[in-house]
Every structure is written in structure tokens, then in C-alpha cells.
Structure 1
């Protein structure tokens, strides 16, 4: 990994802070007790252990996933004792998870099942779910709220793709956790080029960027903007990851 300085610049739009109240949802779990089979997912993070997300992760239903715009967001979740069977609820405990995957609706079931388009639902990695629920319950009503993400180290950029199709995975984002928009600038240009969300936390550019030093301008979903100046060093290769020296606050 390479490191670079970055600059915080004023947001171009008014911030939209995460909701502070508790909201109702339901939660299930998937994967095994070690969460080894929950790797990958619709956000594109790959190995969740090496990326630093571990087992505190969840797949979101359609209404929460928002076509990938929620990738990286963090949620505090507690079993809802007012609605849950007490024998399947762990009282007084919360767990914070990161959105790393999508829980699709099951169109073979009435109304699309638990992860239908309108129902807020968390399909959590089993170790995270068992912090708040008892295994035999299978599904529990929960209360949740979006919270700031706490991360160690800087934002990371992994470059994949090929010439004229650069796919940049953005990981380890603190605060909002998720990205609203992203621009790129090369060492050979003076202006910014808008990137597009390709899928999940992956953003693409169709410009020729190969080998040039790259800067990124990133706006998170709460409206904070950071410019990562020359975060990708000249002569980079596809598959490399570069870490910034700055984080969202």
C-alpha cells in the first residue's frame, strides 16, 4: 500500500446526517458460526476479514440497500423486547454491523418474503446475530439506528479493470461509511472527471488512467468531501491497493 496526504474541502451540498431515532425491522442470520461462508457479497468487498469488516456484517433488504448506495454504512441493532419472544431475545445488548451485502426478495414467497422491497430487514452474519438473539429463534424483531462508522487507518482504493475501464473499490470509510459521488484527476490533467457507481462500493471511469498518478475527490452520503491528492502513485498496476493518510470525521 502507498500513502498520501489528502485535503478536506467544504461539501458542495448540505449534509444529510444519519437518522438518530430507533426504527423497527426484523433480523435473520446466514452463514456459519465462524462466518467463513459470508465472504464476498453485493458490495464487492471480497474477503471481509482482510478488509477489516470481520463478522460484524449484514445483508440489507431492498429498501435499505438502496441499489448499493448503503454499502459501508453502519447500524446499531438491538432485539426488540416489546415485539420479540423473550426466550429468543438477549436483553440489554446491542451490536453494530456494517452493510456489506444485499438480501434479495424471494419472489416465490408471498410479498417477497422477509427481504421484500418494502420491508426493512437485516440478514446478519451469524456471530453478529447471536450477540442479540438466541440461535433457535431464527428470526427476531429488532430496533436499529444508523450510526457513524469507526475505522482504523485511512480510506483505501483498490484499482481493478483494464485500460479505458478503471474499476475502483473504496473501502475502510469512516463516519458515513458510504459514498455518494466520486471524481478522479490524473497527474496529466487539471480538471476532475466524474466516476459512476458500477456496483456496490465499486466506481468506474472510462478514461485512460493507466500508470498516471491519481487523485480522488470523494463525497460521502452525509455530505462531507475529501480530496485525496496523488493517493495513487505513478506507475501503479491493476490489482494494487493504495491507502490515504486521512479519514472522514
Structure 2
């Protein structure tokens, strides 16, 4: 059974320039929520419960070979008759392989861009002109967590998944070592938010992350929290 290893993790956002500027593109939507339970980020059925179901598949420049998994964007459509000026906040959980739109949203997120009683109206549009920008995610009572995957096989294989990464930076490298040791071994991004290694240290583990700013953070994992 999978477990969650929980810890507090402070990230200082270094996002500047185009990370925070407004982009203009188009967005479509998935007609079935189940499409988001097999996304390229590897969240599986858990994805449907993230961000109140306001989810999105992003094009490769947003997916970033998996580093963009879990990133949040404020997105609104340009049709002022149908859509509100507030828009909605979406979380990237999948790769959009169709470059006709920057995003394919869950139908719930797509409808959330609408003015009152206009949700069905924007669904009928199918594709909308939108503008968006990267924003911090909002996770209530959650910190960055590491989930040990069911595919892990002690003692020779460890696969983990990063959850609740709510900042405006990405984890681009990851190392693992036994707690108290300086003998670090690298982990590889298997896909999306999933990292793995076949060289697993014995005992309690510590992980070291490199984020987009090039800053290293080390975290010791000494306690387990129920899934």
C-alpha cells in the first residue's frame, strides 16, 4: 500500500518576466472527466480530486517534460458576453499533444470561466479565445508531499510522486541519500511528477531538490503520515 511522506518545504519563488506575464491563446475542454485520470503527469485517479476538479492539459511548453506538472494558471476567456472577468484557476495534470490550443480544460474548469447561467453556452462554443498567466496554487492545509508508488520494490527500486507543489518554480533535479549520509545518488524523472531510482539507500531517507532557480533544498523524511 502506498504511503505519504509528509514534510514542510519552503520554496522562495524566483519567477520573473514571462512566468508572470499574460499570454493569449485558445482553450478547449475534455468531454469526459475520465480523460484526466490517465494524464501524462502520473497522478492517476487522484487528479480528479485536485483543485476542485479545475484541471488542464498543457502544451509541451507548459508541460516542460513533466516539470510543469502541478503548476497553476489563472485563465479567462475573451468573450465578455459569455465569460466573467475573473476566469478560473486551473492545475496542469496532463500533456496536451494538440497544438491548436495551449490548454484542454476539464469541463468543470471550462464552465467556471462563464458568467452566471452561461456554462452550457460556452460548452457549445467548444474552443474559446483565452488569456492566462502562471499563478501560485492554493492548497489548503497541504505542504509539498512525497508519495511512495505501489511499483516500488524494496530494497532495489523506489518510485515516488511529488504532490502539492504550489509555487511558481519547478523541481528539475532530485537526489536521495540515507539520513545523516553525504553519499547522494541521483533520481531520474520517470514521467511527469514521478521520479525513480534502482539504487535505494537502506534506512530512513533524505531527498535533495533542485528548483528552477538553481537553488538546492535538502529535506529529511523521518515520519510517515497516513494516506
Task: Give the TM-score band, short-chain normalised.
Answer: 0.7 to 0.9
1:45 match:
43
> Which has the larger displacement, 199-208 or 220-229?
220-229
Q: Is the contact between residue 77 and residue 143 of structure 1 (CA under 8 Å) also seen in structure 2?
A: yes
- State the secondary structure of the residue aligned to 1:195: strand
Unaligned runs of 5+ in 2: 115-121
C-alpha distance in structure 1 between counterparts of 2:94 and 2:100, whole Å: 15
Q: Deviations over 1:77-129 (max 9, x none)?
A: 01124xxxx55x31313101110001113xxxxxxx515xxxxx100000001
**Per-residue deviation at 1:185?**
1.3
C-alpha distance in structure 2 between counterparts of 1:51 and 1:222, whole Å: 30
2:172 match:
180
C-alpha distance in structure 2 between counterparts of 1:124 and 1:5, whole Å: 30
Q: Of 196, 208, 229, which aligns to 2:188?
A: 196
Structure 1 length as normaliser, TM-score? 0.73
1:93-108 aligned at under 5 Å gives the runs: 93-105=86-98
1:17-32 aligned at under 5 Å gives the runs: 17=16, 19-32=19-32
1:81-230 aligned at under 5 Å gives the runs: 81=79, 89-105=82-98, 114-115=100-101, 121-133=102-114, 134-151=122-139, 152-160=141-149, 161-162=152-153, 163-176=155-168, 178-187=170-179, 189-209=181-201, 212-223=203-214, 225-230=216-221
Structure 1 stretches of 4+ moved >4 Å: 1-9, 222-225
C-alpha distance in structure 2 between counterparts of 1:180 and 1:61, whole Å: 18
Unaligned runs of 5+ in 1: 106-112, 116-120, 234-240, 244-249
More helix by share: 2
CA RMSD of aligned residues (A): 3.0
**Per-residue deviation at 1:45?**
0.9
1:226-241 aligned at under 5 Å gives the runs: 226-231=217-222
**Per-residue deviation at 1:47?**
2.1
**Per-residue deviation at 1:190?**
2.5
- State the secondary structure of the residue aligned to 1:44: coil
C-alpha distance in structure 1 between counterparts of 2:8 and 2:15, whole Å: 23
> Which has the larger displacement, 156-165 or 122-131?
156-165
- State the secondary structure of the residue aligned to 1:173: coil
1:15 match:
14
